[in-house]
Amino acid sequence: MKGRKRESWQTRVGNIGWPLAFILGAAALWEILVRALHIPKWLMPALSVVLLRIGSDASFLATHASYTLYVILAGFLLAIAVGVPMALLIASWRVAEKTIYPLVVFSQTVPKIAIAPLFAIWLGMTSLPHILITLLISFFPIVIDTVAGLKSLPLEMVHLSQSMGTSRWQMFRKIRLPFALPFLFAGLKVAITLAVVGAIVGEWVGSEKGLGYVLLLANGQLDTALAFSAIIILTLMGMGLFFIVWILEKLLTSWHVSERVKEIEGI
């Protein structure tokens, strides 16, 4: 809207300022407590020690981080490629709902950590088992939420499109998919955080690369500073990925009621 007021600089600073102040405060507390209580380095290193470690092992960590990032992205994108068509099938075909849906639920109740070693045995020491575990962990919310979105299309909308002589493909492209998009994004936001977990689980079971491998290595050597380095990088990576999905959601579903709440609150 043209007439919408731009956010004042106070609000803008507030939006970034409060979370930032909280994080800085927590970091300072960490640093001060570890130093004041003289906690040994192998038990809990100070934040400054961890940050210095990230700096000194930068290229080592970057190599492994980029591998993990690759696994997360590959698994996540595959989860979309598998999850959305599966949701479409479940939502539009009763037989599929009766056969595929129970399988989807089954795939989630099987503990991933238990089947991960099997993947490693079957697929060897490649990136494939890691990507597969990531896919398996993250596709569930995508399917569930997309099905919910596809199924909640109002009957009148269906009638309307029938009266326009809409083909099945047009119906999907122009009506069903855009209608389900906010639901899909709700699923994607859960899925991207799960994908990070999935990549680490996959790497733990058998890998010579990735931050999951670095974590195992660090734990084995009681190198707590290295473990914290990996955890911090992993967390930042997860937040960054979530942020990207969030931005995409804002751009693509700005029309949806969930994105409009702010305007009402702003009155």
Token digits of residue 138: 């993250």
In the bound complex, what is the minimum distance in angstroms from residue 84's beta carbon to another protein?
17
Token digits of residue 27: 């970091």
- Please provide the size of the chain in residues: 267
- Tokens 């950590």, residue located: 113
CA separation for the pair 87, 79 (Å, rounded): 11
Closer Cβ to another protein, 165 or 220, answer by number: 165
Q: Which of residues 167-196 bind another protein (CB under 8 A)?
A: 167, 170, 174-175, 178-179, 181
Query: Which amino acid, 66?
Result: S
210 close to 67: Cβ distance less than 8 angstroms: yes
Closer Cβ to another protein, 134 or 253, answer by number: 253
- Cα–Cα nearest to 138, from 97, 104, 115: 104
**221 belongs to the binding site for another protein (CB under 8 A):** no
Q: Per-residue string for binding with another protein, 96-135, x by CB under 8 A?
A: ----------------------------------------
In the bound complex, what is the minimum distance in angstroms from residue 166's beta carbon to another protein?
5
CA separation for the pair 152, 186 (Å, rounded): 15
Query: Which amino acid, 165?
Result: G
Q: Which residues contact 123 (CB under 8 A, 6 or more apart)?
A: 129, 132
| 3-class SS of residue 164 | coil
Q: Per-residue string for binding with another protein, 226-265, x by CB under 8 A?
A: ---------------------------x-xxx--x-----
- Number of residues counted as binding another protein (CB under 8 A): 24
**163 belongs to the binding site for another protein (CB under 8 A):** yes
Q: Tell me how many degrees the CA angle 7-9-14 measures, rounded to the nearest 5.
A: 95
In the bound complex, what is the minimum distance in angstroms from residue 158's beta carbon to another protein?
9
**154 belongs to the binding site for another protein (CB under 8 A):** yes
Closer Cβ to another protein, 16 or 261, answer by number: 261
**92 belongs to the binding site for another protein (CB under 8 A):** no
Interface contacts to another protein, rule CB under 8 A: 1, 154, 156-157, 159-167, 170, 174-175, 178-179, 181, 253, 255-257, 260
